[in-house]
Amino acid sequence: MPYRATLPSLNRSIALFLSALPFALFAQLYTYNARYDSLDTRHDKSRPVIERYFITSNHGAALFNLGLKDEIRKNAKEEFALAEELGIDTLLATASQHLGDALNGSADAALQLKYFYQGLDYAQRSGNANHIGTAYKQIATVYKSLGDLPRALELLQLALANVTSDYQTNRTCCHLSECYRLMGKPDSALYWAQRSNIISDPGSDPYAYARSYYVLGAAYAAKRERQLADVHFARAIEVADSFQVMIPLFGSLLGRGEMELDAGDIPNAIADGRRALRVSVDGGNLEGLVGASDLLRRSFKASGQSDSAYRYFELRVLYADSLINATNLNKLQNMAFAQELKEGEEAKAKAEEAAARSRNIQFGIIALIVITLGIFLLVFSRTAVVGAKAIKNLSLIALLLFFEFINLLVHPFLGEITHHSPILMLLCMAAIAGLLIPLHHRMEKFITNMLVSKNNRVRLEAARRTIEELEARPTDINAG
């Protein structure tokens, strides 16, 4: 008895293990590694889908490091399509988060939250703690960008309680450090910056390595410890420049420049400001351009070079206007991107609905055939005697099945014609029922008459055989 009770669960466990085995094997071969797919191998359909997924995901990480926003959107959409094809919850969670990242910079934070919460749902379904923590971290970044730092800290603490990989621990601690620094708590900012510094090999994750040194430099700068801040900024700049990781690069240059300006080291502040301006131009980063031009304006003003200060003031105004325009354009692009995703989801839902309707129609046809054959077998059987009540019940079932079958067939067309108006669709279905019921009554009467005639013949034949059998028996003679 215990063996029988545990056998189904054992079978399920074996099935889950076998289904997860291919993914586990590929996951060992294809892991996170920001790599630009210059050969376009992610579109090579001769490769396994799981391999194409990881190539696409790693390509997206490389695009993020390079700051190529337009390509990030397209790649995120392709990554999610591959994850859907695979149907693996952990991959769907990651791909959903990358869809949210692709909407970065949108004035409508709800668009980002939609996909980040979708990623959290997939992560919770998978039961994978690291993916659950990553989803909380992604949601926290939205609240951080909106300035709701206490809420961001709550979510980041939830993230840190779940994440298990160095990759995500680094990023979560970096966000915690930045939140505390923005809240004016440099000691807490330094504590979390130090906890983020767990990537020992720059080549394994250049972004994480460089960003960790950047937040360390920023935390030391907030504590007015210039020497330590300079060491960490310099290391972040060196690694970010070597691996072309834009965000930590211009962030470190601006951070070091601000620190140098505050200390009165104007020549170095100007040098870092100019380099930050070039990096921002190369990366197309308007926020970096605004920050770099403002640093240069204040640096030249402090050095008494009013002409240069005014020049960079004009540049800052120009870049600020461009940033506003780009933000509005980015919002429109994000809305268009979100609409594309919505249309894809609707198309998928329609395809699934059509497939379900096709299956239901097939089942309806099978049921109608079975019921109809049953009725005719009863009608034309030479021996069976069936009452009118049984035929009435069977014909009623056949009528309901036939009505449902017609409903499945005409529902999409009625929806288009009536624009899914409930009243109009009800009237149309009532009209169809009004046509079917008289037909049903006629068929029922016809079949009943046939049954009465057949039953009479069967009974007469049975009576005739009985009489013949009685007549054939010898007469019993009782002995006196």
pLDDT in tens, 17-46: 444 444 444 444 456 677 888 888 998 989
CATH classification at residue 254: 1.25.40.10
Residues 263 and 381 in one domain: no
Per the model's pLDDT, the better-predicted residue between 136 and 354 turns out to be 136
Domain boundary among 164, 181, 209: 164
Residues 28 and 156 in one domain: yes
What is the span of the domain harbouring residue 262? 245-344
Other CB atoms within 10 Å distance of the CB of residue 14: 10
pLDDT at 450: 65
The pTM for the full model equals 0.65
Count of structural domains within the chain:
3
Q: Which residues contact 87 (CB under 8 A, 6 or more apart)?
A: none
What mean pLDDT is reported for the chain?
A: 79
- Backbone phi, then psi, for 476, in 5-degree steps? -75, 130
Residues 34 and 103 in one domain: yes
Residues 324 and 388 in one domain: no
Mean pLDDT of the 70-91 span = 88
pLDDT at 7: 42
- Quote the CA–CA distance of 69 and 338 in Å, as a whole number: 15
Other CB atoms within 10 Å distance of the CB of residue 279: 24
pLDDT at 255: 92
Mean pLDDT of the 38-63 span = 89
Residues 155 and 84 in one domain: yes
Q: Which residues contact 195 (CB under 8 A, 6 or more apart)?
A: 169, 173, 176
Residues 54 and 119 in one domain: yes
Residues 267 and 371 in one domain: no
